Amino acid sequence: MWQFEHKAKAKGYKNIAGVDEAGRGPLAGPVVSAAVILPQDFSCAGLNDSKKLSEKKRNAFFPVIKEQAICVAIGISSHHEIDEINILQASLLSMKRAVENLSDPPDFLLIDGKFTLDMDIDQTALIKGDSRSISIAAASIIAKVTRDAIMKELHEKYPQYNFIQHKGYPTRAHKEAILKYGLCPVHRRTFKGVKEVVNAG
């Protein structure tokens, strides 16, 4: 899990940030990204891609990462931006914002996925990076736990959709709630399963 960080260090880079997002697939809510710079002595047994961990484990890792990391930052792209520029561009924008929000500027980025960011920083995109790089894995947990907390707040605002259960993902229960109650302000109007309701209206 450290091989990409070690390769970058060997090339002379000092502040290596892992970057990942959460929330590309849901029908509602923002996409949330995190950027994390870890110290070389960081130790967190069992840390892996957030999607492979239970919610309980993610919530346990979250404060450990926040406490031990050199710095952690969040970047958010709203449902409005997702509808305006598409989910891929909104995801990349939220990643860029997370990097820009780091208190300690990075000199190298490890980014989950196949796209690099439009930034003047040396970087590498890693497909399945959240299970190959410790920094990206840490970022995936920060992003996921942060987004889940946002969806919990939205659940309290719009309880009929039960966002606390499915976090806005296109589950059967969520689709049924959309058909029954229509759309709420945070639904992504351009997404399949939502735009049909917009068009029908």
The CB density around residue 93, as the number of other CB atoms within 10 Å, is 21
pLDDT at residue 190 in the model: 96
pLDDT at residue 49 in the model: 67
Distance CA 47, CA 39 (A): 15
User: pLDDT tier at 1 (50, 70, 90 boundaries)?
Assistant: confident
Residues in CB range of 121: below 8 A, 6 or more apart = 99, 106, 107, 108, 109
Residue with the bigger pLDDT between 198 and 133: it is: 133
Query: 138-155: per-residue pLDDT in tens?
Result: 999 999 999 999 999 999
Query: 23-54: per-residue pLDDT in tens?
Result: 999 999 999 999 999 999 898 778 866 678 89
Residue 72 has pLDDT above 70, yes or no: yes
Residue 164 has pLDDT above 90, yes or no: yes
Distance CA 173, CA 150 (A): 19
Instruction: Identify the CA nearest to 19 among candidates 140, 141, 115.
Output: 140
- Mean confidence (pLDDT) of the chain: 95
Distance CA 157, CA 7 (A): 46
Distance CA 34, CA 74 (A): 5
Chain position carrying tokens 């499915």 = 166
Question: 128 in the Ramachandran plot: left (φ > 0), alpha (ψ -120 to 50) or beta?
Answer: left
For the segment 100-123, the average pLDDT, to the nearest whole number, is 97
pLDDT at residue 44 in the model: 79
**What is the C-alpha R_g of the chain?**
17
The CATH label, of 3.30.230.10, 3.40.50.970, 3.30.420.10, 3.10.105.10, for the domain at 3-156 is 3.30.420.10
Distance CA 90, CA 83 (A): 9
pLDDT at residue 96 in the model: 98
For the segment 76-81, the average pLDDT, to the nearest whole number, is 98
DSSP annotation string for 59-82: HHHHHHHHHHSSEEEEEEE-HHHH
Q: Which residues pair with 36 in a beta bridge?
A: 18, 72
E runs forming strands in the chain: 16-22, 31-37, 71-77, 108-112, 122-126
Q: What percent of the chain has pLDDT over 70?
A: 98
